[in-house]
Amino acid sequence: EDQVTQSPEALRLQEGESSSLNCSYTVSGLRGLFWYRQDPGKGPEFLFTLYSAGEEKEKERLKATLTKKESFLHITAPKPEDSATYLCAVQATGGYQKVTFGIGTKLQVIP
């Protein structure tokens, strides 16, 4: 069974204090790993897709990296508007299209 574990569950940063969120995964064969941002009371917003170990993607202050066992979401010089819950999800290869989500990391950036 596919599993996604995210850590920490919650993270509080000062504005400008860079940090990383971790996503460890177990999947039979990885088709794709996804990062989403979710604001309270809203649906998740797509950020990145990573397909293979060594791949990196960036968007503004966010950078996602992937290894064979985990992914990191690096946040550089965060701002208060980066406060949200960040979700990691994996999709396995094979015929079934199910995507498995982690519980998320709730990030709070304090001015």
Partner 1 sequence: GAVVSQHPSWVICKSGTSVKIECRSLDFQATTMFWYRQFPKQSLMLMATSNEGSKATYEQGVEKDKFLINHASLTLSTLTVTSAHPEDSSFYICSARGHKGTPPNTGELFFGEGSRLTVL
Residues that bind partner 1 (CB under 8 A): 4, 31-32, 34, 36, 41-46, 49, 87, 89, 91, 97-99, 101-104
Q: Which region, left, alpha or beta, applies to residue 81 given φ > 0 means left and ψ of -120 to 50 means alpha?
A: alpha
Q: Indicate the DSSP class of residue 93.
A: S
Nearer to partner 1 by Cβ, of 36 and 82: the residue is 36
Nearer to partner 1 by Cβ, of 78 and 104: the residue is 104
Rounded to a whole number of angstroms, the minimum distance from the CB of residue 27 to partner 1 is 13
* Paired sense of beta strands 105-110 and 10-14, if any: parallel
Nearer to partner 1 by Cβ, of 15 and 45: the residue is 45
Strand order in the sheet with 62-66: 3-7, 19-26, 70-75, 62-66, 56-59
Nearer to partner 1 by Cβ, of 16 and 63: the residue is 63
Rounded to a whole number of angstroms, the minimum distance from the CB of residue 40 to partner 1 is 10
Rounded to a whole number of angstroms, the minimum distance from the CB of residue 91 to partner 1 is 6
> 31 with 46: CB under 8 angstroms?
no
